[in-house]
């Protein structure tokens, strides 16, 4: 018997960087998912196999052994090991597990791939041992895995991967889940340039430390823009939503987190009629998102590809983590 769990990736619609200081970030779960299939082992190993993420190996007594002899993707692998062990410790079980990981979410470009994989691992291992984990527990335990990768993350990514839908996150205020009753497509343009969120956040901090009198008002504007953007989204005022995305891009650029590659994709999208286009996530590479009327979606996507971006069309999804048991052929 094995158990499967899937969890969605995410985009940040508004509030990246400003959320570190003030105001909300608005996160949307998107219909690109990570899947983990967990099965029991007779030994104590946590055996992780993922072609999509490019690694295969196992942990035993905290020590990693590569099976493919390929790259050691240290923190990614360790995060899954931690997530699986935390679930078993919570359930009072001592066992090894096989984790087969597949993901349709590109890694290290701000689309919440690590959170989706941690959440799916937690849920799959929980299901395998009939743990009846609540969503709250899944999110809490997977956060332990996320910490291995990101140090001290906000907790927003593991929540959106667990619950799906729309999430408003504000420091000191917490998370609020919202639902959108109709679907809204976005186009993601991926520069395919990996970047570190930590470095980007540090860069903004250094700029602010040197120029607080200029940077603070930018951050305050971003904070109010983020709230206005959420209101526009919930009211489906797409023209206004597009305006606010464009304004936000200008301010993110002012903070120095956009790049020439991101700008090229943003302008490529706008040139073909996108209502709004901005980078999403930490910047410095990674992805941008565009909002367009349905008749312009194809043109916008084509334009992003012509500007050397990888394009994906996604929809907001209310579907958070999902689990099921799989009956093996011979069991
Ligand atoms: O690119 P991501 O998904 O890691 O998003 C980073 C969002 C920041 O606001 C830049 C950092 C943070 O911790 O909120």
The CATH number linked to 12 is: 3.30.230.10
Q: What pLDDT does 71 receive?
A: 52
Residue 329 lies in a domain: no
159 lies in the same domain as 12: yes
**For ligand 1, what atom is nearest to the CA of residue 197?**
4
Distance from the alpha carbon of residue 202 to the mean position of ligand 1, in angstroms: 11
115 lies in the same domain as 220: no
Looking at 179, 208, 241, the residue that finishes a domain is: 179
**For ligand 1, what atom is nearest to the CA of residue 280?**
1
228 lies in the same domain as 212: yes
294 lies in the same domain as 239: yes
Q: What pLDDT does 29 receive?
A: 97
**Tell me, what CATH number does 289's domain have?**
3.30.70.890
Beta carbon of 154 within 6 Å of any ligand 1 atom: yes
Residue 300 lies in a domain: yes
Number of domains in the chain: 2
**For ligand 1, what atom is nearest to the CA of residue 195?**
1
Residue 326 lies in a domain: no
Among 68-72, 91-95, 114-118, 174-178, which stretch is predicted with the lowest mean pLDDT? 68-72
Residue 320 lies in a domain: no
205-262 pLDDT per residue, tens = 999 999 999 999 999 999 999 999 999 999 999 999 999 999 999 999 999 999 999 9
Residue 322 lies in a domain: no
Q: What pLDDT does 329 receive?
A: 58
Beta carbon of 110 within 6 Å of any ligand 1 atom: yes
Beta carbon of 253 within 6 Å of any ligand 1 atom: no
Q: What pLDDT does 268 receive?
A: 98
Which of 21, 160, 194, 201, when mutated, tests ligand 1's pocket best, judged by the most ligand atoms within 8 Å of its CB?
201
Distance from the alpha carbon of residue 282 to the mean position of ligand 1, in angstroms: 5
In this prediction, residue 69 has a pLDDT band, given cuts at 50, 70 and 90, of: low
Structural domain boundaries, residue 20: 2-179
97-148 pLDDT per residue, tens = 999 999 999 888 889 998 999 999 999 999 999 999 999 999 999 999 888 8
75 lies in the same domain as 172: yes
Residue 328 lies in a domain: no
**For ligand 1, what atom is nearest to the CA of residue 20?**
14
Looking at 179, 205, 221, the residue that finishes a domain is: 179
Beta carbon of 282 within 6 Å of any ligand 1 atom: yes
117 lies in the same domain as 228: no
Q: What pLDDT does 272 receive?
A: 97
Looking at 157, 179, 201, the residue that finishes a domain is: 179
What proportion of the chain, given as a percentage, has pLDDT over 70? 96
Decide: 7 and 41 in contact? Cβ < 8 Å: no
Distance in angstroms (rounded) separating the CA atoms of residues 287 and 266: 10
Q: Which residues are catalytic?
A: 157
170 lies in the same domain as 57: yes
Q: What pLDDT does 107 receive?
A: 82
Beta carbon of 201 within 6 Å of any ligand 1 atom: yes
Mean per-residue pLDDT, 56-63: 82
Residue 323 lies in a domain: no
Residue 330 lies in a domain: no
24 lies in the same domain as 169: yes
Q: What is the mean pLDDT of the chain?
A: 92
90 lies in the same domain as 190: no
168 lies in the same domain as 277: no
257 lies in the same domain as 120: no
Beta carbon of 26 within 6 Å of any ligand 1 atom: no
Beta carbon of 197 within 6 Å of any ligand 1 atom: yes
Distance from the alpha carbon of residue 331 to the mean position of ligand 1, in angstroms: 44
Q: What pLDDT does 40 receive?
A: 96
Q: What pLDDT does 73 receive?
A: 57
170 lies in the same domain as 192: no
């Amino acid at each position: 018997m094995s158990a499967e769990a899937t969890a969605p990736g995410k985009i940040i619609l508004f509030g990246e960087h400003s959320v570190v200081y003030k105001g909300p970030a608005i996160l949307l779960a998107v219909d690109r998912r990570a899947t983990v299939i967990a099965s029991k082992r007779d030994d104590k190993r946590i055996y992780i196999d993922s072609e999509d993420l490019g690694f295969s190996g196992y942990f035993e007594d905290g020590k990693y052994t590569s099976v493919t002899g390929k790259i050691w993707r240290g923190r990614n692998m360790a995060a899954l090991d931690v997530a699986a062990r935390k679930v078993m410790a919570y359930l009072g079980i001592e066992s090894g597990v096989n984790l087969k990981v597949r993901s349709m979410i590109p890694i290290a470009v701000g689309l919440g791939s690590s959170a989706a994989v941690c959440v799916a691992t937690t849920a799959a291992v929980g299901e395998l041992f009939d743990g009846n984990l609540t969503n709250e527990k899944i999110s809490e335990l997977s956060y332990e895995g996320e910490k291995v990768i990101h140090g001290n993350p906000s907790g927003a990514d593991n929540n959106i991967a667990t619950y799906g839908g729309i999430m408003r996150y504000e420091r000191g205020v917490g998370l609020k889940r919202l639902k959108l009753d109709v679907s809204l497509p976005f186009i993601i343009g991926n520069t395919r340039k990996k970047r570190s969120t930590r470095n980007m956040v540090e860069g903004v901090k250094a700029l602010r430390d040197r120029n607080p009198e200029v940077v603070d008002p930018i951050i305050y504007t971003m904070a109010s823009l983020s709230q206005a953007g959420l209101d526009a989204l919930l009211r489906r005022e797409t023209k206004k939503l597009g305006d606010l995305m464009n304004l936000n891009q200008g301010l993110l650029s002012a903070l120095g987190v956009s790049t020439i590659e991101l700008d090229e994709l943003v302008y490529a999208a706008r040139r073909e009629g996108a209502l709004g286009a901005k980078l999403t996530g930490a910047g410095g590479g990674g992805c941008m998102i565009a909002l367009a009327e349905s008749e312009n979606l194809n043109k916008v996507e084509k334009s992003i590809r012509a500007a050397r971006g990888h394009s994906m069309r996604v929809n907001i999804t209310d579907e958070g983590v999902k689990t099921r048991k799989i009956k093996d052929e011979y069991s």
